[in-house]
A = this chain, B = another copy of it.
Amino acid sequence: MSKLSNISGFPEWLPEEKLIEERIIDLIRNIYKSFGFTPIETPSVELKSTLSSKGVIDKEIYLLRRALKDSDEKDDEELALHFDLTVPFARYVAQHLSKLQFPFKRYQLQKVWRGERPQRGRFREFYQFDIDIVTRETLPLACDSEIISAIHAVFTALNIGKFCIRVNNRKVLLGLYSSLGLSSEVQKQVISIVDKLDKIGIDGIKKELTSLNLKSHQIDQIITWTELRTDFQNVSSELSKIAVDNDLFKEGVEELSLLLKLIPEDSIQFDLSLARGLDYYTGAIFEVILMEHPEYGTVSSGGRYDDLVNQFINQKVPGVGASIGITRIIDLILKKNLILIESASPSKVLVTVLNEPERPALVKLADKLRKLGIFCEVFPTAPKLGKQIEYADKKGIPYCLFAENDKIRIKDLRTKQETDYSTIEEWIQTLN
């Protein structure tokens, strides 16, 4: 007998839970499609060198090896499971550049893997659902707004409570830090320190900035800036109060005010403390939090990256995108019962069987129901009807059908009401 328990970090849902995940994935996919995003998929496996190209930490990767490598086998380059969908997408765009129409808009739903220590209790396998827009040469700001609008539409449709899209712009941050006389190397370090605000707090940030040898007036200024948060409508007026004469800063402020005109008005906040850890962001950055479940942290994030694709190809292909952490959201929905589990089956009708000789006719009847668009199943044996009704009830199948001579009797298990019909079509017409 083998060990029968979940492997830590590799979540597995029960059927009624997976039905909810599938429904949510379909909902998000439909919204992405309604914005004109096209599906792509990349293999789960990339060359290790591809995944390392933006300097990812090696220990987050799972490497593959064949259990029994033939002794005469040539050495493959090392293969690894992808840890996100952005790096494989950048590789995909570079590789298929001549075959894509630009601007190219894709969505991509796939599992990603992180080689976390099993003891840490984090997901080591989970779904991400990404959208991105890339183009040749110059990517207009309208694309940043479209990404944010699509993410806004998703969280509105999910209907799992209030959410907030926190927005900032790397140019604003770098412009500000530059105005303090910090080198671009130090600016990057400051960004990754400020990014940890939620984890280490103001005091932690002060400590880490001090260890960078920043002067105390610089540290105080950085801390003051991280406290600026405002409704997105006031972004320009609030930022105009910061009297900093720096071109990059001004460019960032200009981008933010253009963005304001194109994105929804509710549930969006400007937050100067938002930094996002990843190196490759160059303009707008944002993340989504669920106001009623702050302990779940960031459930979606993204931003503008102007120089990611050209790590693979010597051409300018700027992009902007976002990723939604599906598994984390499903985990939240299931743990907090945010969506009512109604059934463990897609069947709408259970066709009951009184005795085996009737089965061939009932199988044909079920086929007819399917052709009329009604999902159904035929009970596989012919026990007492009570047992068959109990099965339907437990699986959340709403109707039982009893075929008697040339009549159809339908029992609605929710109202317990039974009604006779002379044909299947007659019953279907009563459904709305």
Contacts and interface: CB of A to CB of B under 8 A. Distances in A.
A345 to B, nearest CB: 5
Nearest to A357: B261
Q: Which of A43, A115, A124 has the most CB of B within 10 A?
A: A43
Interface string A46-85: 1111100100011111111111111001101101110000
Contacts of A67: 48, 58-63, 80, 115
A143 B359 CA distance: 12
Interface string A347-369: 10000000000011001000100
Nearest to A261: B360
A416 B250 CA distance: 45
A162 interface: no
Given A12-B43, A76-B118, A262-B363, A2 B61 contact: no
Nearest to A110: B111
A19 B4 contact: no
A35 B370 contact: yes
Interface in A359-392: 359-360, 363, 367, 370, 375-378, 380-381, 391
A377 B35 contact: yes
A41 B18 contact: yes
Contacts of A104: 15
A104 to B, nearest CB: 8
Nearest to A62: B64
B33 A375 contact: yes
Interface string A306-344: 000001111000000000000000000000000000001
Contacts of A61: 66-67
Contacts of A161: none
Contact of A106 (B15, B68, B76, B380): B15
Nearest to A103: B380
Nearest to A397: B36
B38 A345 contact: yes
A378 B60 CA distance: 38
Nearest to A13: B41
Contact of A40 (B18, B45, B77): B18
A360 B36 CA distance: 18
A15 B39 contact: yes
A22 B43 contact: no
Contact of A381 (B39, B76, B140, B391): B140
Interface string A92-121: 101110011101111000010101011100
12 contacts: A2-B47, A2-B312, A7-B45, A7-B79, A36-B377, A58-B68, A61-B67, A62-B66, A63-B67, A105-B377, A142-B381, A261-B360
Given A35-B370, A381-B140, A2 B346 contact: no
B53 A2 contact: yes
A2 B153 CA distance: 36
Given A59-B68, A64-B63, A262-B359, A346 B378 contact: no
Given A142-B380, A359-B142, A344 B38 contact: yes
Interface string A269-292: 000000000000000000000000
A370 to B, nearest CB: 4
A234 interface: no
Nearest to A65: B63
B59 A62 contact: no
Contacts of A99: 14
A214 B49 CA distance: 54
A135 B143 CA distance: 52
Given A106-B15, A262-B360, A363-B145, A2 B115 contact: no
A427 interface: no
Given A65-B63, A65-B65, A67-B61, A375 B53 contact: no
